[in-house]
Structure 1
Amino acid sequence: MTVSGERRAWGWVAHLRDGGTTPWAAWHGEGTREGVYLPGAQQLELLRRLHLAAASQGRRPSPRLVERVVEASAPGRGTPDLELVGATDESPFGPRPVDPADLPDAELTRVATSLLAEDLVASGARRPPEVPPLVRPWRTRYRLVGDPWLADPAREAMVARGRPPGGRGSVVVVVGRDVASMVADAWTSRCFDEGALPWREWLDPFAAGHRLPPRVDLERAAATWARQVGAVRVRVVLDPSALPRLVGVRRALPQPPALAADAVDLARQVAAVLGLLVLPEQRADLLRHTLLPRLLDAPGPPLRLPAEHAAWATQRAVRMRDRMLRAGYAVHGDPDLLVPRPDAVAPAGASGPTDAGVLALAVRLLLDETKEAPR
């Protein structure tokens, strides 16, 4: 590292710590060394973006957040923090120094997700109620399967009402909706449970193999349970208004939350970091009950099936509908509801979550944690 380059770099670090937003390429001041190593380029650029976002809201990130960003790591890269171009002599080994402004948004999101995961762990998982609800002995015996994004909140609400699933003679309720939406639901559910591959990396193999994700293959689920309990005790529910009666309650059951595609992808990336910090059960609890409520008002379009996969989804829906009707399962709702709706398919050229959108949302969540007064 040259002396002038080192002084310039430390001057930029001090500038950013003090709330500055000047890009590295435009910075010409100097400063003194404040540590053993310079912070990584991705950490410093994330800090600059945080200052820009905060300034647009008339505030500044908290001093604590500033220091956390400077000292953060970038999980998932498998390589050292990136150095500033012009601040160090290039080495034939390792990654080359970079201009932070040229970094892809995904590099900055890696740092942000590390901080968000730490915040979730520090906040703690949702505690179960001190007094469990009274289990009603006269309750309807049921099992709730199918689309996990539909079934999970309904099942959780039933347990909270003292009506857990299972028991002798249970009716198996297979819930679903149009195939395009269910495919998006399957990925969303995985993102909030254990993490997943990126949307297209996860989706494209299913379409190429002419198959559906297992948890939203309603016909397969119905057939599996029919072999165990008989087809007469299997109910396929495509009309959400029919579900409460089938599980023995009068009040409506909660519908799945509607989330922006960028919000789902941010949860996916946070889940990967949480997997290194907590056990799987706690990870799912933190994602669903601590992170998810903070994502409900995130801007952006919902996750929708790419246009090029619409024909595949329609073909799968028709096949599923015909097989379930031939098997004689009781279907609540029009079987044609399985066919993808036009609004469940993205316009041509749309690609789901975007790196820029995910980063902007991560920055917003980090700033939400600050308690600094307005300027």
Structure 2
Amino acid sequence: MTPPVPATGSRPPAAGERRAWGWLAHLRAGGTTPWDGWAGEADASATHGRLLPGAQQLELLRRVNAAGRPSAGLVGRVLAASAPGRGRPDLELAGAVEPGRFGPRPVDPAALPADELVRVATSVLADELVAADLPPVPPGATRPWRRRFRLVGDPWLADAARRQAREQGREPGGRGSVVLVLADDLATMLGHAWCHRVTGEGAPSWSDWLADAVRRDRVPPRVDVLQALRRWESRVGRDRVRLVLDPAALPRLTGTRGPLSGPPVLPADGAELARRTAPVLGLLVPPERRTRVLREVLVPRLAAAGGPPLVVPAEHDRWVRTHAVRLRDAARSAGYPVVGDPDGLLPGHPDGVPEPSEEGVLALAVRLLLAADAGAGAGTDAGTGTEDDRGSEDR
């Protein structure tokens, strides 16, 4: 960070420092002029007494201003945010510091990769998520005459079905339950497994995680439905196990009063934003609460934002199809009861993208910050206040 402007009687601030403080005032007032297009300066006699925020924070604020009308509170949080990441310091503005100073090489904010700005955005987003209220846990009903069932298999499908069943007064579990192993086509289930890890204990990037499964030449355990069928068969017997590939059959199988709408569809950029936010949340709350915040607060916002989901890259199509055929044929030959068409395990050709976009992740993070800001009833004063009242809540 650039040193504070010195008090009267000390070395007068250089032109670059005055320009930087002037740009900060411009951004705090809602401005969107890029650093390389900014020529204004702060009053040389002013004593600010604070450190200038890093280049990442300043450029992120410029992007936020360009996308909406942040409140003074959000402006202050962006400017005060840290950039998470071990050994990756905040960066200084090129032209705002004296040549030869010790530290990272100053940068032009416009040249920063989106990844650097996402780092700061996840810090602000994590703080906002921690403060959000968790939705109440729906009470399940326990009635002696109810239909007993368990929902397992694809964890993304099973979690959503359990929650919706509870909302309709049907609590899964209990003695004598029929075990419903939920499944979809293997390519979709791979995306589900990654999203479940991302919003749980964390995961590597989509491409790295998938490449590891291909290298090991095995279906990830979370979506190995054949393994789930065998495990539950050994516990409860084959006559109480079903492979379910038809979601429309779930109300009949669970005794719910209405349809179960299925799991949220995460856009590719949203899933990556969740992955990047999870470690920051992990520093603020215990693991169990982190998972609830991610799945019950962040995931609905990401799903509502829309956008194409992740799909398996074409380079892995043959591998996925080979394993899907093995799963289908093994389930058939073993004689497990199947609800739906066993060919439903075979991958189709869904619309989507093979990987997230860093710029897309950044744009989504900015939209979420602005939406949360407006939802808190604090977005009406953005861009309209004076430089002083915008700055009064900075740090």
The normalised TM-score by structure 2 is 0.87
Alignment of 1:337-352 (within 5 A): 337-343=344-350, 350-352=353-355
Q: Which residue pairs with 2:390 in the alignment? A: none
Query: Hey, which bits of structure 1, 4+ residues long, moved more than 4 A?
Result: 90-94
Q: Distance in 1 between matches of 2:47 and 2:22?
A: 8
Could you list the per-position Cα deviations for residues 160-201 of structure 1 after superposition, in whole angstroms to 9, with x for gaps in the alignment?
Answer: 334322222222110011000000111112222333222112
In the alignment, which of 123, 129, 134 is matched to residue 125 of structure 1? 134
In the alignment, which of 6, 15, 18 is matched to residue 17 of structure 2? 6
- Report how far residue 105 of structure 1 moved: 0.6
Indicate the RMSD between aligned Cα atoms, in angstroms. 2.0
2:50 maps to a residue whose letter is V
Q: Distance in 1 between matches of 2:36 and 2:47?
A: 20
Q: Distance in 2 between matches of 1:316 and 1:95?
A: 48
Contiguous gaps of at least 5 residues in structure 2: 3-12, 385-395
In the alignment, which of 16, 24, 34 is matched to residue 48 of structure 2? 34
2:21 maps to a residue whose letter is W
- 2:320–2:347: 8 Å Cα contact kept in structure 1? yes
Q: Which residue pairs with 2:388 in the alignment? A: none
In the alignment, which of 141, 152, 160 is matched to residue 145 of structure 1? 152
Q: Which residue pairs with 1:276 in the alignment? A: 283
1:321 is the counterpart of 2:338: no
Q: Distance in 2 between matches of 1:172 and 1:152?
A: 14
1:358 is the counterpart of 2:369: no
1:372 is the counterpart of 2:372: no
Moved more, 332-341 or 245-254: 245-254
1:111 is the counterpart of 2:120: yes
- 2:134–2:293: 8 Å Cα contact kept in structure 1? yes
Moved more, 231-240 or 291-300: 291-300
- 1:90–1:96: 8 Å Cα contact kept in structure 2? no
Q: Distance in 2 between matches of 1:248 and 1:127?
A: 23
Q: Which residue pairs with 1:211 in the alignment? A: 218
Q: Distance in 2 between matches of 1:357 and 1:81?
A: 22
Could you list the per-position Cα deviations for residues 49-77 of structure 1 after superposition, in whole angstroms to 9, with x for gaps in the alignment?
Answer: 111112xxxxx211111111111111124
1:300 is the counterpart of 2:311: no
Secondary structure (helix, strand or coil) at the match of 2:350 reads helix
Q: Distance in 1 between matches of 2:354 and 2:189?
A: 17
Relative to structure 1, is the Cα distance of residues 179 and 192 closer, same or farther in structure 2, using a 3 angstrom cutoff? Answer: same
- Report how far residue 335 of structure 1 moved: 0.8
In the alignment, which of 103, 108, 111 is matched to residue 102 of structure 1? 111
Q: Which residue pairs with 1:334 in the alignment? A: 341
Percent of aligned positions that are identical: 57
Q: Which residue pairs with 2:165 in the alignment? A: 158
Q: Which residue pairs with 2:200 in the alignment? A: 193
Secondary structure (helix, strand or coil) at the match of 1:269 reads helix
Relative to structure 1, is the Cα distance of residues 147 and 140 closer, same or farther in structure 2, using a 3 angstrom cutoff? Answer: same
- Tell me how many residue pairs correspond in the alignment: 364
- Report how far residue 88 of structure 1 moved: 1.8
Relative to structure 1, is the Cα distance of residues 96 and 254 closer, same or farther in structure 2, using a 3 angstrom cutoff? Answer: same
Could you list the per-position Cα deviations for residues 119-169 of structure 1 after superposition, in whole angstroms to 9, with x for gaps in the alignment?
Answer: 11112222336xx44312212222211111111111112233343222222
- Report how far residue 93 of structure 1 moved: 5.7
Q: Distance in 2 between matches of 1:34 and 1:352?
A: 44
Q: Distance in 2 between matches of 1:117 and 1:79?
A: 19
1:158 maps to a residue whose letter is A
Contiguous gaps of at least 5 residues in structure 1: 55-59
Higher relative contact order, chain-length normalized (CA < 8 Å, sep 6+): 2
In the alignment, which of 47, 60, 71 is matched to residue 80 of structure 2? 71
Secondary structure (helix, strand or coil) at the match of 2:275 reads helix
- Report how far residue 240 of structure 1 moved: 0.8
- 1:266–1:358: 8 Å Cα contact kept in structure 2? yes
Q: Distance in 2 between matches of 1:207 and 1:308?
A: 11
- Report how far residue 353 of structure 1 moved: 1.0
Q: Distance in 1 between matches of 2:140 and 2:246?
A: 28
Q: Which residue pairs with 1:43 in the alignment? A: 57
- Report how far residue 43 of structure 1 moved: 0.2
